[in-house]
Structure 1
Amino acid sequence: MTRPLRIALIASARFPIREPFAGGLEAHTWALAWALRRRGHHIALFAAPGSDPRLNVRELPVRAPRLSPAARADLSMSDPSALHEHHAYLSLMLDLARGDDGGPAYDLVHNNSLHYLPVAMAPAVPAPVVTTLHTPPTPWLESAIQTDPTGSGVFTAVSAHTARSWQPLVRSARVVHNGIDLRRWPAGPGGGDLVWYGRIVPEKGPALAIAVAAATGLPLTLAGPVADRRYFRDRVAPRLGGRIRYAGHLTRTELAALVGSARATLVTPCWDEPYGLVVAESLACGTPVAGFDRGALAEILTPDCGRLVPYPDVAALAAAVGETVKLSRRACRERARAFCSLSHMTDRYEALYAELLP
């Protein structure tokens, strides 16, 4: 881009965009906002209360609308949290549609949320709206896309795998792989425990990582927010102790140090990963990856920096760890630099913005 843009960046309203991050979506949005700011663009981040104030945050009004006793008593009353989120995005999109003194308040809107309203109401906004597809198809998003009979929406996808999954409705989503700031994920010495990190939920499979570590006889450190307390209590906590430890929900600096000191990262998805930010971060730290071949992971990993096996073959993954720990840490870092740097991702988004603007 040759000129700074006024960009409205719409985040997920479920968690604040701040460290320690609730998940990969929040980490990605934070990094993109900072990268665009460093390139001179004027960013307004519409995000949940409590987000990083350095990012020029406009707090989404995630609060209860005033409802009459009759409305609250209605049998079709939605879950309160869903209603609050709906109200927040409805208010935001109406504001963006009104613009500023009859013109657009922003040159461009980039929607990084998972909500249907920014997609459904995009045609009413007087500036181009780009929506990044971060997940497999969901009923609400599919419905929102179909409200535009012209199919004129502008979409990107975080991987070729994700683009293919949306292809029946979104014929031309541009693939822009998520990028990470290599300065914030420095190469480490390796040689320590195996590591697994991410949201502790069934679909991320930390219990399988524990089983893999047990089969190898190597120590394992887990880290990340406990998003499903029952799963943690029943499937993870009973296995902690001895060679298996839980380090907690770490800041990015703490996490980068942990990953950089690990001999390998285990990635054990029980669903098709739309991208796999953990893989990119691990490679940046010089740490090779052993994981299940689900979703987009094969787009990131090459034989020089990781091993993938069929899901859910714990024995095969345990065997692959022996090969993985011997891989070149330099090759891992170079793969991150060439394929999934924040700079490369920002270049791709800026090129798209330039195409959409006069």
Structure 2
Amino acid sequence: MTQPRRYLFLSTPVGSLGSGAGGGVELNLANLTRTLLEGGSQVQVLAPQGSRIAGLPQSVIEPVAGLPPAYAQSQGRDQPVQIHTPSLLACLWQRAAQMQADFDLIVNWSYDWLSFYLTDFFRTPVAHIVSMGSLTDAVDQALEHVAQTHPGRLAVHSRAQAQTFAFAPAWMAAGRDPFVYLPCGVDLQTYDFVPHGNGSLAWVGRIAPEKGLEDCAALSEKTGIPVVILGHLQDPAYWQQIQAHYPRAQLDYRGFLPTRAMQQILGQCSALVMTPKWIEAFGMVAVEALACGVPVITYRRGGPAEIVSDGETGWVVDPDDVPALADAVGRLERIDRNHCRQRVEQHYSLSVMAERFLAWDKQICGDPG
């Protein structure tokens, strides 16, 4: 008889699960945890205190205390690694070391130098789901070491994300890809298909400079179209600056909402606008919008440009080009919202995500005993 796999997930330490501080990582971790449990696997999640995964018993999560690390996006490329004490990240890994004998695979969801560095020191295999592109030299060096010493242990979400790491192109040119590619999936039953939009636009994500909300504000001023904003308010000063610089923009901030409430608002909109200033690793909100039938207008930058089929499920425009965004808004009537939903059904369902994850697990650990 095949034994069920036993997985230990180490959550992102930037905030508790359910807070929105971890962005799309939170939803991806929650979705994969639910899907694996429903398939008969055992999953335990180590996460910051206060974490919750909707629909699952609290016993699935073991809370860990400590101070969160700084956001990686705020660090300079050559900044030394800083670990605050008592470190939440260190405490997560200390607990994982104590528990490792009870699991077949440890899966790290954090984007932190310490997490990658510790790979060598665990008896149970450690795999990493890398949630962002290249941001610091220290993390890049740690990732390359893992790729060299533990091939097949690094997973990313998009080709654009992989290309940001300086060591990746040389590996690929030699026929060795240092990464495994894992799609993110959503529970389609959670997202209601809406056949027609109400004329408003949506912008969803952490409110922080790298997300480029100011371009959406400029779009609202240019077109006179209202924009519903949903997401974790990470940088209040940045939000206030946008409001001051774009006083004629019709921006309706609704806060960070649970998935069910969020999709009820998002689904009514005529399009989701994505304006990243950095290389998004994936773009989970694009999949969520498409699941509701909502077309996506995004910059040709990072993962979202790989999710959106230009001219079929939305429009992909040149980065930082607000007039191009406005032109795309004017062409939304050409998009069939049914095609948006179908793209998620075919490429970004929970079953597709679980299938790819289990194949990765088999590559690392072999067939279950």
TM range (shorter): 0.7 to 0.9
Instruction: Tell me how far 1:60 sits from its aligned partner.
Output: 2.5
Cα RMSD for the two superposed structures: 2.6
Contact 1:89 1:118 in 2 (8 A): no
d(CA) in 1 for partners of 2:327, 2:249: 22
**Structure 1: gaps (5+ residues):** 65-76
Mapped pair 1:120 → 2:117: yes
Q: Which amino acid aligns with 2:183?
A: H
Mapped pair 1:190 → 2:196: yes
Between 202-211 and 54-63, the greater mean CA deviation after superposition: 54-63
Instruction: Tell me how far 1:354 sits from its aligned partner.
Output: 2.0
Mapped pair 1:255 → 2:262: yes
Instruction: Tell me how far 1:308 sits from its aligned partner.
Output: 1.1
The two structures have a TM-score, normalised by structure 1, of: 0.87
Q: Which residue of 2 aligns with 1:311?
A: 319
Mapped pair 1:95 → 2:98: yes
The two structures have a TM-score, normalised by structure 2, of: 0.84
Between 252-261 and 115-124, the greater mean CA deviation after superposition: 115-124
2:344 is aligned, of 336, 340, 346, to: 336
2:239 is aligned, of 208, 214, 232, to: 232
How many corresponding residue pairs? 340
Deviations 1:219-250, CA, capped at 9 Å, x for gaps: 22111111001101111366478843222222
Contact 1:156 1:175 in 2 (8 A): yes
Instruction: Tell me how far 1:82 sits from its aligned partner.
Output: 6.5
SS at match of 2:164: helix
Between 162-171 and 47-56, the greater mean CA deviation after superposition: 162-171
**Structure 2: gaps (5+ residues):** 69-79, 172-176
Q: Which amino acid aligns with 1:133?
A: V
d(CA) in 2 for partners of 1:211, 1:317: 10
d(CA) in 2 for partners of 1:149, 1:285: 37
Instruction: Tell me how far 1:162 sits from its aligned partner.
Output: 1.6
Q: Which amino acid aligns with 1:142?
A: D
2:288 is aligned, of 270, 281, 284, to: 281
Q: Which residue of 2 aligns with 1:151?
A: 149
Q: Which residue of 1 aligns with 2:39?
A: 39
d(CA) in 1 for partners of 2:141, 2:17: 27
Q: Which residue of 1 aligns with 2:7?
A: 7
Contact 1:19 1:252 in 2 (8 A): no
Q: Which amino acid aligns with 1:140?
A: A
Instruction: Tell me how far 1:128 sits from its aligned partner.
Output: 2.0
Deviations 1:89-143, CA, capped at 9 Å, x for gaps: 44235325xx4xxxx2201111111122232222222222211111112333223
Contact 1:159 1:175 in 2 (8 A): yes
Mapped pair 1:294 → 2:301: yes
Deviations 1:165-189, CA, capped at 9 Å, x for gaps: 2361674311112111111122124
Between 116-125 and 314-323, the greater mean CA deviation after superposition: 116-125
d(CA) in 1 for partners of 2:363, 2:201: 44
Contact 1:20 1:252 in 2 (8 A): no
Q: Which residue of 1 aligns with 2:74?
A: none
1:173 is aligned, of 159, 175, 179, to: 179
Larger radius of gyration: 1
Contact 1:289 1:324 in 2 (8 A): no
Instruction: Tell me how far 1:20 sits from its aligned partner.
Output: 5.4
d(CA) in 2 for partners of 1:279, 1:86: 29
- Change in Cα spacing, 1:156 to 1:87, as seen in structure 2 (3 Å) is closer
d(CA) in 2 for partners of 1:234, 1:208: 13
Contact 2:314 2:332 in 1 (8 A): yes
- Change in Cα spacing, 1:325 to 1:198, as seen in structure 2 (3 Å) is farther
